[in-house]
Structure 1
């Protein structure tokens, strides 16, 4: 069977199969070699993600060899954990120490269930606070952004710390995006979610990290003969 890459995260992952999204670009990039499987849950934080891991990725019976373990999983949480506790989206907030514990537990879950699977962490993106006021998700009576870039930075650094502790690769999206002077307009659509340019940045970074782990299109076999391998004079030969 064709191997799989799971994309596990919040709305930035759920929306990644939109037109121009980073998940859709991955699926196109790995066509004929890998099935890219979406497991994105809008609004979720690591506390909720940890609660539903077994439901999303159920353990197979020992005698079930119908499907092999995925070759990679991206884990992209933190944007909702970093909501400020005293603001309008405070119900999504997860304290920083718990976020680190939860993220560590999520990585450990995958490593225990699928020892050979590559786990790739992605930090939350930076936040354009002015844009968050223009695009509120819930009623905002305070008139204050429910997230700040400073808080997102703390969670991004925590994510990179956990990657180091767990020995897995990480994309520091918070830092990477801010290398661009116009990052707010270039990479974000509403101060949090990704524009098409932001999606392409994530796509390119994921491809680069997977390649570093030996997972490239060139290194993966196609699941059936390519048209270039079929002899026009004897088309059925290649299928024998």
Structure 2
């Protein structure tokens, strides 16, 4: 979390999520927390509350978001990002680490709490989908001229833990999009960023030099990057350093997409709308455990 040294009436932004949020504070990675800090420097404080999973964060949300906002008093936070699912969607022997229905309940609790709390009236909420993972390619080209062989290769690859985890992440991402669109239809305070699709489309374009529209064709052929299926490419370490956590390109894409959504939907959040105050840098305190 961030140790604040700013006055209580200083405008603030809260970043709520898992280790992908926690690690987003480094200039070397172009992390979105660092870029927000740079963009709003001297005007708005950025509070990074990246920890672990939707389940484990339930208590942290009450303690580090709701309680802090109550103790601080007005003004309400400008916006809060909720970026979860990367850990929750990881597979155990009996299914995802956090069941999808439970994950959905946690996300809705966070959004409803912000919308309903008297201390966050007017606070904007950005839901960010979990990203894909980068499953190593099997090194096999699909046997397109031998349909039966191709089907067997595809079926075997889909039995692997890597592909199943990739598919689980996609399912959780779709759930965030569904939840986000429901809230978008009800209030102007909520926006959803489909980061899973955005980064996958960009990777498709970079690897093949094809227009982003070919994402649908590759999806139909089961060849989206990171899936680990025959003929599918990999994102590479510039996107995912270990298959899960972002490299510099991964954070660059997220930062670009986040700023584009934020300032297009809510131009009132542009930095020039906030007076320059005493410059106080937020102090990011890394957690001992990184997931």
When the two structures are superposed, what TM-score results if normalisation uses the length of structure 2? 0.65
State the secondary structure of the residue aligned to 1:78: coil
Q: Which runs of 5+ in 1 are unaligned?
A: 132-142, 226-240
Counterpart among 109, 112, 130 of residue 108 in structure 1: 112
Aligned to 1:169: 191
**Is contact 2:81-2:126 (8 Å) kept?**
yes
> Following the alignment from structure 1 to structure 2, what is the Cα–Cα distance between the partners of residues 207 and 219?
16
Counterpart among 89, 98, 117 of residue 123 in structure 2: 117
Aligned to 1:216: 270
Pair 1:35-2:45 in alignment: yes
Deviation of 1:190 (Å): 1.3
Pair 1:51-2:59 in alignment: yes
Pair 1:11-2:19 in alignment: yes
> Following the alignment from structure 1 to structure 2, what is the Cα–Cα distance between the partners of residues 175 and 27?
26
Flag as ranges the 4+ runs of structure 1 deviating above 3 A.
58-62, 64-67, 143-147
Deviation of 1:51 (Å): 3.0
Aligned to 1:71: 78
> Following the alignment from structure 1 to structure 2, what is the Cα–Cα distance between the partners of residues 157 and 165?
12
RMSD: 2.5
Cα distance per residue 1:28-62 (max 9 Å; x no partner): 11112211111000xx2212212332111243798
> Following the alignment from structure 2 to structure 1, what is the Cα–Cα distance between the partners of residues 39 and 59?
32
> Highest relative contact order (Cα 8 Å, sep 6+), 1 or 2?
2
Q: Which runs of 5+ in 2 are unaligned?
A: 1-8, 138-159, 185-189, 208-224, 226-234, 280-291
Counterpart among 142, 163, 166 of residue 149 in structure 1: 166
Deviation of 1:153 (Å): 0.6
Counterpart among 251, 257, 267 of residue 205 in structure 1: 257
Aligned to 1:95: 99
